[in-house]
Every structure is written in structure tokens, then in C-alpha cells.
Structure 1
Amino acid sequence: MLMKREVHDFPSRDLFPGWRGHEPLAERLPQASVKLHDECPGLARAVAALPFARFEEADRVIGPVRKYNAPARRAAALADGLDPEVRPYWLCALLLSHVSRFEARFAETGLDGEFALHYRDHFHRILDQIDADPAFADLAQDSFLKDLWLARMVMIPAFAQVWWPHSGISAKAVLRAGSKAAAYVFLGCGGRKPFLEGHTHDPVARAYWNEAGWREALRLAALALPALPAARGVFGTAWFYDPQVREISPRIAFAQDLQVGKGALHIEIGSNEDAVRNATATSAERRNRYREGSYLPTDFAVIWSRRAIAAAYGA
């Protein structure tokens, strides 16, 4: 049975004034559906030709590990068969079909009842996006795929991060990091998969990617683990876990301070094009240092065992 708690037990409204987890969804859903059909007269025919259940069966998670950002080939082929003008509306309607069943299906996740509020917060944002521009719905876009997995209640909302529970840690990276890292992952965590992997979700980064949002993300990761008994722990890989970033961009050092030295393993992964692009995208200081050769953006991983994150951020 889901644990019931009073509203004041949830800090979200005080920490984040724009959070909408307590606002009902029921009235917004039919309005959003009507607008989609009004704007796209061919939508009903597309849904009849490609029922949502058929697409979902082709794109379901099979096995403990799967990439969230790689739709199954069969599912992608089914979507590609839709009229390109209609496809974004069909994908938005797919989101709505999941959100409309949220209240009835949330208990199936096994997650603590608090997560229902955090899903609802994301769903209000998704409805805003559908209303503003259905063209955002694109299977080639990372942001849309995260929203789809949120609507499916597979990806787990947690403010500064969304947690993907079907990830694994590279054995090569762990072994390269040495015996201490190998012992932590293979003995302390019990294996390298599956893990909850943290990802930044751009549509909410402005509101939630801050120290309070990160603290809540870690607390919610610990809160989610009892519903995921197979999970070995929690991890994330990013350029902002690089120790150099503490000196170059001290204002985001909290992402490390909340984790490194508190029971998590911290290992170097290496530099790559994604690390360079992500690290230099929003900071002139990091761009300039990279161009002059004094800074090479490098990915590091922070890895938590179940026991360690529960001790640091559990209830």
C-alpha cells in the first residue's frame, strides 16, 4: 500500500514556487485532446491506423538494461509510417493517453505516494508544451523521449534529475579505475546492472537544476529504491562531476559536494565530443579555457550503492 502523508510533509511547494504537483489534471486533459483533433483533422484516422497499444508493445522495455533514447526499431518504423504532418499530433495524443490513465495506474509502479505529485508536476508542463506547439513531439529528440518515458511512468521524476531505472555501468570504465572502484561496484553494489541513472531534463533545468533541486533528486532516488529491488544503486556520468569544474565554475560545485565524500564512488570516465559540447555550451569561461588549452572537459561518474545512498539521503 502506498504511504499516505500530509501535504506539509512535502517540501516542494516551499522550495519551488512554480511546482504544480498538487494541481489537478482532470479538466486539462479533455481540453488538450479536443484541441489536438481540431488542429489536426487526420489525427483520428492516424490513431485508428496505428493504435497506441500496438506502438507501445513494440517499444516496451525488455530485460534489465535499455537505452531510454533509442526507440525500438519496430516502434520507430511504425511511427515513420505515419503522415509526417500528422505524426507530431499522434505522438502528443500518445502522451495524453498515458497521462489520462495515470491516476488509475500509478499504484502499479510501487513507488512512494509522493512520486504521484512529482509526475503530476511534469504532466502539467507536458500539457503546456502540447498546447504551445505539438511539433516538439519527435522521436529523434532526447527531450521528447524523456517526456514519453515519464508519461509511461518508467522514468522517475526528481527535480534536478530524472532517474532511468534500466541502466548499467561500463565494466571497462570500472576496471580501468582500479581495484577500489571494482570492489565498490562488484562487491559493494553487487554488480554493474541494473542501476538508476540520472539525467538532466532541459525543460525543467532552469527551475530545478540548483542545489535544492539536487538535494531533492538524491533524496527521491533513495526513496525510489524500495520499489526497485533489483537495482544495484544509483549513478550519473557528467562533465560537471570533473574536479576541475569546482575551480572553474564554483557556483555548480554543489552537484559534487552533495555526493563526493559522502559514501559515493567518484571515478574518471574520459573526455569525448559530448563532454566538450555540454561543458562549453552555457559558459564563456569554460569555452575560453577549452580554446586556450587550459581545460579539457572530461566526464566523471558518481556511483552510489543502495546502502550508501540510503544512509546519506534516506528517510
Structure 2
Amino acid sequence: MKLGVRLPYHCAGVTGEQLAAVAKAADQAGMHSGWVADHVVFPAGEVRSTTAGSTRDGRYPRPMDETTLEAWTTLTWAAAVTTDLVLAVGVCVLPQRNPLVLAKQIATLDVLSGGRVWCGAGIGWLREEFEALGVPWARRAARTEDTMALMRAAWAGSPVTYDGDVVSVPEPVHFVPRPAAPVPILLGGHSEPALRRAATLGDGWIGHELMPPQARETRTELERLGASPDFRFVVSRLMNPPDQPGADDRRLDTESPTRLAGVFADYADAGVDVLLCEPSVRTVDAHLRLIDQVHAAGERTGLLRTLSTSGGPA
């Protein structure tokens, strides 16, 4: 198992210098990956949409007016100050994006970073966001599948054509640059259709707030549905770094490196490939403190990347 960390794309008033400091700290601590998530806008009025798997009542658990930096721009900034850290979005709302534009953004970042990009992908849950962006809500799952197929075709060779159920590129177009190796696409979602889509079409799956027994069950289910042996299984966990005002007492405390190392071992035993560590307090200081605690626990379990200047992903 490897250890990732959420980057502070969602901290009010975060500066480029602060984001760079967190990314560099994660890289220098030997962590595998730095992650952001993706929302362009949130509704300011009534919210009718609900999200499965995040909260018991399906309501989004954060303020709708909270700072949220654009995902791929943020990772480009992080790429410029790191050498080994895998740069990942978990998840990008694929059906909201033009497939060729998104494929170009990802390919560009992958080339400039030396092949360090993972693309998490989801079909989206916030209908109001789709409406604001002028993107059809209907058939978003099919649009997601077409987007994945078109991006992979564009990354594989040029010229490109595509004829899908929702998306098409009828006349051939040149697509360059292309990644040296395929960019992994990991799918999110906890429903049975989402798990099946991940197992049959994705290079991995991303889940949130699963305890080790739940992680083991989900991994088993993904394998039953057809996940390949090299399938990437990622689970995120909210954690409380020490001495952080406003910490959520329902989340995992990280003050004891020995106890935290035991938690890491439980996730590794459950078949998790990457445990994404995320502070429950959204400040830059909380991110830096969490990296320190994860590093101390990770050293006890051998889960940290050996430091290098290779510029390539672990």
C-alpha cells in the first residue's frame, strides 16, 4: 500500500506559495500522490440534488460557497514544484467537460510532469451544476463512458476519429502531445452500476470513508465484477491532525504514530493500494501537520516511497 494526501485546493485564501509548500512537503516526505477534487460551481439557491455515499442524508457536507480551486490548474501548479509525487484528481466530473479539451489538458500535464498523472472520474451528482454549465444531465453515464473511450483513443494515436452513443468526432483530427504511457482512469461511485463500470471500464476505483472491513468487501466485489489483477484500489479517510481547532471528533485522530501505523496496516491487509489521507480541518497548517503525522507513521510500516530525483512516478 502507498500513502497519498489531499492538497489544499479547498482552503479559503490559499496562495500559490502555500499550495506549493504542501505539495513539496508531501513529495519530500515520500508520499505517493497529491490529490484534488473537482467542482466548477455550486448552487447558491435551493439544492435539490443529493450525493450517495458521502453522508447519511445525502446532503453535501461542506458549505456551498467554500473555496474550490480548479482541479487541473491546481495540479499543474503542484507539478512544477515536485519531482515524484503522482498528481491525481479524485474525481473529475467527466460528462461536464469537452472530451478533447480534457484529454489535451491531461496529456499536457502528463508530458510536462514526466508521466505522473492519474485521472479519477465520476458521472456527477449535482444537477444544478450541470444546468449552470449548460451540460445535459440526461445520459451522463453514457457521456462519461464515451469521454473515457475518446480520451484513450486520443492518447493512443493520431489522427483520431470516434463514433459513440453520445460523443462523436466524425472527421479525423490530429491529437498531440500524447502521454508516453496510458494515463490511468479511476472511477468513483458506491452504487452497483458505478462499481460495475469501474471494474469493467476503469483502471481503478476511488471510495470515500470506508473502514478496513468495508474496503475488503468492496475490493472483493470489484474483483467479482471483473476487476483486473493490476486494478488500482484507492480509499480516502478524513483525519484529525493534532491541535487543530474545529477538528471533527468522528474522524481518525493522528496524534499517535504507532496507532496510525496500525490503521495503515489494517487498510493494507484489506487490499487498499493507495490510502488517501485528508485533514478534517481545511487549513494549510492542518495539511502540513497531517503530512508530518502520516510520515511518522508511514516510516514505521515501510509505506513511504524511497526518496529520489528520478522525476517519475512510483
Q: If the TM-score is normalised by the length of the shorter chain, which range does it land in?
A: under 0.3
Greater helix content:
1
Greater strand content:
2
Considering only CA atoms, is the larger Rg found in Structure 1 or Structure 2? 1
Greater RCO, CA 8 A, separation 6+? 2
Normalising by structure 1, report the TM-score.
0.26
